Chain A
Amino acid sequence: MNGNEWAVEMEDLVKMFGTFVAVDHVSMQVGKGEIFGFLGPNGAGKSTTIRMLCGLLTPTSGRAHVSGLDVATQPEEIRRNIGYMSQKFSLYDDLTVEENIDFFTGIYGVPKAQRAPRKQYVLEMANLTERRRSLTRTLSGGWKQRLALGCAILHDPPVLFLDEPTSGVDPIARRAFWGLIHDLSETGHTIFVSTHYMDEAEYCHRLALMYRGKVIALGTPEELKNGLTSHSLLNLESSDPLETMRALEGLAGVLDVAVFGGGLHVTVDDPASTSVRVRQSLAAKGIEVRRLEQIQPSMEDVFVAMIETEERSAA
């Protein structure tokens, strides 16, 4: 694959800390202008992968390219072509909004002619024009996070790495933040973003699901949901959820039962025939079925199902 066609490319990327394999032979590609979501539980190896792509960690083996530049041999060039937002808030609290912007403008070497317009753009994007002289310490979480994003894109990098940018931010600020990410993607920027909020996965063009250092699923949100084609999901509401669970256990065609809100999510292989059997079995036990319908699995269902499959195959 030619490096110019992909914004980010990984081939058998491995990172070991002592004997612990943090990233285990990861191979994937991210296209230009894509919003690429990186999902997985804490400790799955998402941050380690992102840090390798930013040149902050040296891969143990394998290769990775960002904007066609080799992570191992061209870290200097990569740093000029990426923006990075680490998990921890990483601006200077004791500097004002403007001073933070000026500092990053300086170290990214933004050309003189572009300095004023870029600063203006970032202030407007983060909605901080009126608070430009406030100490960063006094800003709330959502503002800080937008300022951090602004400082990471001052040099207009083609590729952006965001490591759990929305952790600890309220839902309204999170939505506004994803709006900014979309705008950036529309102007041709590639965004590589990790998160553990399932609802945010739906905002991404494509997703990779990482678990214990491995990528266990890769595709668009639709593909991942339809990836469970051998199984279907039924939403079941009954008069006695606890008894219902017992009744369904071991019933032919039922693969898994999980409590979900006030009802149950039942994973089955054939929805039509199993539905009939479920109704019969529950009627025999005197449990009233209030609702039984096939539903589209949510990202969370997909996520849990895939990790369970992975664990079963590992055991």
Chain B
Amino acid sequence: MAEFKELTYENLQVGEEFFSGEHVVTPEDIETYAFAVDDHHPWFFDDSPFGGPIAHPTLLGNQALRLRSTKYMVRGGLHAKQEFEFLQPIRPGMRVRTKGKLTDKYERRGKQYMVTEFVTIDEHGTELVRGKFTQMLFK
């Protein structure tokens, strides 16, 4: 059983890895996302140049952003920076998961930050999205 430590700057270890659970992308996920960001592009609901509907490229951003919650009790924080590389379209029915690695932590102007690199893959191991994000920790 996983043991959850409190998310503190001291507890974070550069090089540690995070693994999300699996998630099946559903048409409901895509519809909810479209409502949330007010983007109802027809490719998300009908056909697309990729053959069949696709999801918004940033649909799985929160799966990556919440990786640290698989190991830590998180008191929250602020998202400071985000990088994405969109490699393949995300499609409904895909079974996706994200793995990440803490690549840096630093303090600047009295605030503490953690940097995570991630990749999201489908059930075949095909890379869909890569990226990196920086989060400020709440003290």
Partners in one complex: no
Interface on A for B, CB 8 Å cutoff?
A: none
Interface on B for A, CB 8 Å cutoff?
A: none
